[in-house]
Amino acid sequence: MNTASVLIVDDEPDIRALVEITLSRMGLRTHAAATLAEARKCLAAQPFDVCITDMRLPDGSGIALVAEIQQRWPQTPVAVITAYGNAEAAVESLKAGAFDFVSKPVDVSVLRKLVDTALKLRGSERRDDTSTLLGEHESIRQLRALIQRLARSQAPVHISGESGTGKELVARLIHSSGPRASGPFVAINCGAIPTELMESEFFGHLKGSFTGAYRDKPGLFQTAEGGTLFLDEVAELPMHMQVKLLRALQERRVRPVGAETEVPVNVRVISATHRDLAELVQRGQFRQDLFYRLDVITVRTPPLRERPDDIPLLARHILRRIAREAGLENVPELDERAMSALQQYPFPGNVRELENILERAVTLCDGTSIRTADLQLRASVATSAHTGLEQQIEDMERQAIREALRKTRYNKTRAAELLGMSFRSLRYRIKKLGLDQE
Ligand SMILES: Nc1ncnc2c1ncn2[C@@H]1O[C@H](COP(=O)(O)OP(=O)(O)OP(=O)(O)O)[C@@H](O)[C@H]1O
């Protein structure tokens, strides 16, 4: 590989010198520019493998340079140097398409790792794994393209979508299509760790730091070093962990339980939840500052019922996999009616539910053809005329009524007043929505 070249754009001679020296010691060729105008001249004269620019330049903003390079030299990743503690600038630059950022005072080891990662993008034959995200619906096509773009950046990504819509799959694809692919992908369900063990799970602990800590143990951050940490169900993090996570993201350092010093970590964080994080922030259940850090770029995974035309394709793919795994000679096929029943089913559990339904159907069917009865679709859902929207309205209604009942300590007359409806109408709805069974 020929020597990589880096363009450094900064008007402060001290910082320019520090970055130049650090990168030359890594064996890279460096070029420096003090203004946007000079940077443009350099870029026009020769290609660069990486560009590192200060945010504030005498003749304009580093963000403008990010946008320009994105457009004209999309192969060149740009990192931005931001003022100490200026989270907004960092987030803004990532949204504009910066590959990553480093804050002042520039930490040399952070800078080295950043450049290392950026160089891995260079000419490497990245695997295009995104074909495993199946579907031809416009929303899925766009998602595949977005994954490719996000794979090139280090920006935190938040994936929101109903359960079973492929959030973890998307996170894995962002990881495996980017420069961290050779590093670990560590997935963790934040709702599944007992609160009292959380800090040690995330950041590790030293032997003897609490009862039961018999030996040093690395945390998830350390395990994910050089790779990606996927925080699933991030809304479930208790407040005290939200504070600690925010700190780790800001400082890019973690302190194991019982340790005196912090250790630097180089991890990309991708988070996900099926809940509305912005709404939780409004309700005071999720920290705004952490939300802001995690949700730099939002990705939405669409529910299956929004794209029923993709169901045949997915079903055939899943059936082939099930048959292969079970060592079946024949791949069972869905008959026409069964396929159309599937396309009308609302799939509250999305693709995971489709997988489960087909697993069961393969077992129940005659070996060649799957009929509607083999699908055992939940009758109430399958035969009712509920569309996705109606279902959602019902859910909202149910939630509002529950809340009103709780507030009024189950006094239905007062709950009805609160909801602005008659007592009879409330009683009817409680029955219809099955709330009297709870
Ligand atoms: N578009 C898709 N193409 C192929 N397989 C998919 C697709 N979407 C989801 N799947 C499959 O569906 C299953 C569920 O996906 P995944 O675990 O990524 O969902 P999730 O949104 O993270 O779910 P949860 O919120 O319950 O954790 C996986 O086996 C995944 O491979």
Is the pLDDT at 128 greater than 90? The verdict is no
Query: Ligand 1 centroid to 252 CA: how many Å?
Result: 30
Indicate the range of 216-230, 306-320, 403-417 predicted with least confidence. Answer: 403-417
- Residue closest via CA to ligand 1's atom 18 equals 166
Is the pLDDT at 34 greater than 90? The verdict is yes
Tell whether 231 and 255 lie within a shared domain: yes
Query: Ligand 1 centroid to 43 CA: how many Å?
Result: 42
Is 187 part of any domain? yes
Is the pLDDT at 152 greater than 70? The verdict is yes
**Structural domain ending residue among the three candidates 278, 300, 322:** 300
370: which strand partners?
334
Domain that holds residue 214: 136-300
Helix axis angle, 311-326 to 336-344, nearest 10°: 120
Record the tokens describing residue 186, joined without a space.
């560590």
**Structural domain ending residue among the three candidates 300, 318, 346:** 300
Is the pLDDT at 387 greater than 60? The verdict is no
**Averaged pLDDT, 121-130:** 60
Tell whether 274 and 346 lie within a shared domain: no
Measured from the Cα of 163, ligand 1's closest atom is 25
Looking at residue 380, its pLDDT comes to 44
Is 84 part of any domain? yes
Tell whether 356 and 412 lie within a shared domain: no
Is 412 part of any domain? yes
Is 10 part of any domain? yes
Looking at residue 21, its pLDDT comes to 93
Is the pLDDT at 236 greater than 80? The verdict is yes
* φ, ψ for residue 87, nearest 5 deg: -65, -35
Tell whether 226 and 323 lie within a shared domain: no
**Averaged pLDDT, 42-51:** 93
Measured from the Cα of 317, ligand 1's closest atom is 4
* Nearest alpha carbon to residue 223 among 209, 204, 249, 207: 204
By CB neighbour count within 10 A (0-12 exposed, 13-18 middle, 19+ buried), where does 321 fall? middle
Query: Ligand 1 centroid to 161 CA: how many Å?
Result: 10
Is 106 part of any domain? yes
Residue 303 pLDDT grade (very low, low, confident, very high; cuts 50, 70, 90)? very high
CA dist., res. 59 & res. 42, Å (int): 16
Q: What is the DSSP letter of 216?
A: -
Residue type, 320: R
Tell whether 295 and 308 lie within a shared domain: no
Is 125 part of any domain? no
Looking at residue 383, its pLDDT comes to 44
Q: Which residue has the higher pLDDT, 104 or 229?
A: 229
Is the pLDDT at 103 greater than 80? The verdict is yes
CA dist., res. 250 & res. 113, Å (int): 16
Indicate the range of 85-94, 146-155, 226-235, 281-290 predicted with least confidence. Answer: 85-94
**Averaged pLDDT, 389-393:** 73
Is 338 part of any domain? yes
Tell whether 333 and 351 lie within a shared domain: yes
- Per DSSP, helices labelled H in 348-387 are 350-364, 372-375, 379-383
Tell whether 175 and 113 lie within a shared domain: no
Looking at residue 126, its pLDDT comes to 54
Tell whether 56 and 146 lie within a shared domain: no
378 CB contacts (<8 Å, ≥6 apart)?
Answer: none
Measured from the Cα of 189, ligand 1's closest atom is 27
Tell whether 73 and 168 lie within a shared domain: no
Query: Ligand 1 centroid to 162 CA: how many Å?
Result: 10
When divided into structural domains, the chain yields a total of: 4
Tell whether 373 and 423 lie within a shared domain: no
**Averaged pLDDT, 191-203:** 90
CA dist., res. 420 & res. 85, Å (int): 48
CA dist., res. 345 & res. 177, Å (int): 33
Looking at residue 129, its pLDDT comes to 61
Q: Which residue has the higher pLDDT, 215 or 294?
A: 294
Tell whether 204 and 263 lie within a shared domain: yes
**Which CATH number characterizes residue 226's domain?**
3.40.50.300
User: Which residues' Cβ are closer than 6 Å to ligand 1?
Assistant: 133-135, 161, 163-169, 232, 274, 351-352, 355
Find out whether 132 and 114 touch, Cβ atoms under 8 Å: no
Measured from the Cα of 170, ligand 1's closest atom is 18
**Averaged pLDDT, 86-91:** 82
Is 131 part of any domain? no
Tell whether 176 and 290 lie within a shared domain: yes
Tell me, what's the ipTM? 0.98
Looking at residue 289, its pLDDT comes to 93
Q: How many other CB atoms are there within 10 angstroms of residue 310's CB atom? A: 19
**Structural domain ending residue among the three candidates 351, 366, 383:** 383
**Which CATH number characterizes residue 73's domain?**
3.40.50.2300
User: Which of 351, 353, 358, 359 to probe ligand 1 with, by most ligand atoms within 8 A of CB?
Assistant: 351
**Averaged pLDDT, 65-93:** 87
